[in-house]
């Protein structure tokens, strides 16, 4: 359980690093005339992602979930892959990446990196991590509840983001 706690805390540290990057990128975007869309759902997203981390630890501890090596190691690999995809998204978007929906006016849609294959690759990473992180140590209730609530939240979030992105010019740029 100690190594699993370290893994969850490592993911929490990664999330804090994301917030640092997002704050810096928010300042960059606002300085270029951007506005935030859909700020109403952001607090729910923060609560849900925090609950994922807490739920992983609580369920494993209080429900005494066992570590099942075949499932655990496979899901650990998925967690690592999700982190790699997330940071690929962050580096591809550069200062345009954010945890909030902020679109800088006049910039073309990014179609490079993972965006050449997927419209919302960061959300693929979030979904994969939300299933895999709890299942590393058998926390199936946390995985199921997060996945269900995240699907509802992502429906709102993706609709909000797509509407904000429709305000971009038709021209596309490779990043």
- What are the structural domains, with CATH classification, of the chain? 2-173 (1.20.120.1630)
pLDDT digits (tens, 9 = 90+) for 121-137: 999 999 999 999 999 99
Residues in the chain: 175
pLDDT digits (tens, 9 = 90+) for 109-123: 899 999 999 999 999
Reply yes or no on whether the pLDDT at 98 is more than 70. Answer: yes
pLDDT digits (tens, 9 = 90+) for 39-50: 999 999 999 999
Q: What is the mean pLDDT of the segment spanning 87-100?
A: 97
Reply yes or no on whether the pLDDT at 171 is more than 60. Answer: no
Element (H, E) at 52: helix 42-62
d(CA 123, CA 132): 14
> Which residues are CB-neighbours of 173 under 8 A, at least 6 positions away?
107, 108, 109, 110, 111
Q: What is the mean pLDDT of the segment spanning 92-111?
A: 93
By C-alpha distance, which of 60, 89, 42, 54 is closest to 2? 60
Distance of CA 156 to the CA centre of its chain: 14
Kindly indicate the confidence band of residue 166, based on its pLDDT and cuts at 50, 70 and 90: confident
pTM of the model as a whole:
0.90
Q: Please state at what angle helix 2-31 crosses helix 42-62, rounded to 10 degrees.
A: 170
Q: What is the DSSP string of 94-112?
A: GGG--SSEEE-TTPPEE-S
Q: What percent of the chain clears pLDDT 90, i.e. is strictly above it? A: 89
């Amino acid at each position: 359980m100690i190594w699993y706690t370290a893994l969850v805390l490592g993911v929490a540290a990664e999330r804090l690093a994301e917030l640092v990057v997002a704050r810096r990128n928010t300042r960059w975007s606002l300085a270029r005339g951007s506005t935030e869309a859909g700020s109403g759902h952001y607090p729910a997203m923060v609560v849900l992602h925090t609950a994922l981390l807490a739920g992983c630890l609580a369920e494993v501890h209080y429900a005494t979930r066992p570590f099942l090596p075949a499932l655990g190691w496979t899901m650990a690999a998925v967690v690592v892959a999700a982190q790699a995809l997330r940071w690929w998204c962050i580096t591809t978007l550069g200062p345009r990446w954010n945890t909030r929906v902020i679109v800088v006016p006049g910039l073309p849609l990014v179609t490079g990196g993972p965006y050449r294959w997927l419209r919302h690759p960061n959300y693929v990473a979030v979904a994969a991590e939300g299933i895999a992180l709890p299942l590393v140590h058998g926390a199936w209730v946390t995985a199921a509840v997060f996945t269900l609530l995240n699907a509802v939240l992502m429906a709102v979030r993706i609709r909000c983001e797509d509407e904000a992105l429709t305000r971009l010019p038709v021209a596309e740029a490779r990043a």
